[in-house]
Amino acid sequence: MFVSDTDESIALSDRGWLPGAQLLIAAEPSPALPGPTLHRPYDTIVANAARRHALRPALLHAVIAVESRHVPHAVSPKGALGLMQLMPATARALGVRQPLDPTQNIHGGAQHLRHLLDEFGGDLRLALAAYNAGAAAVHRHRRSVPPFAETQAYVPRVLAQMARFDNPSIFPTTAP
């Protein structure tokens, strides 16, 4: 944990203020409340994307946490880009022109998740499996989570992160 000398803000990071460090939680002083107020990185963008695509913000935060660990310029070995790790072809199909831009990336990822949820009748496990392995793989495996080790691990990881982000004792949505 680090406290800024200038504005009393607090940041929790996985490696301090080193290059490549990931911001885990930030807190800033609030003029209306004594002490810092917790928020998650990209809260406003996530809230807007969740509202626009009828998704829970915790779902988007969870996908971001698992996909990129909140690193906006993340590029996977397979070429997936940004916070929500959009593949270039998927980004183009969604109209995302700058996939490393957090706003475009989160909105594109939210749109993609909404489409997958609709395609799989609201089944979150199947939509997450399709987000990771592709919808064709889920269909090929008779509308079940494909037997790929990565996908088998991915779905429960996102669901666990989602439960954490939904927990108001860890991430309060309003001030106490």
CB 71 within 8 A of CB 78: no
User: Locate tokens 């626009």: which residue?
Assistant: 52
Residue 83 CA to residue 113 CA, distance in Å, equals 14
Verify whether residue 8 is a known catalytic residue.
no
CA 10 to chain centre: 22
CB 127 within 8 A of CB 59: no
CB 127 within 8 A of CB 116: yes
User: Locate tokens 């911001």: which residue?
Assistant: 23
User: How many residues in total does the chain contain?
Assistant: 176
Catalytic residue of the set 8, 28, 67, 150: 67
Contacts of 136 (CB under 8 A, 6+ apart): none
As annotated, the active-site residues are: 67
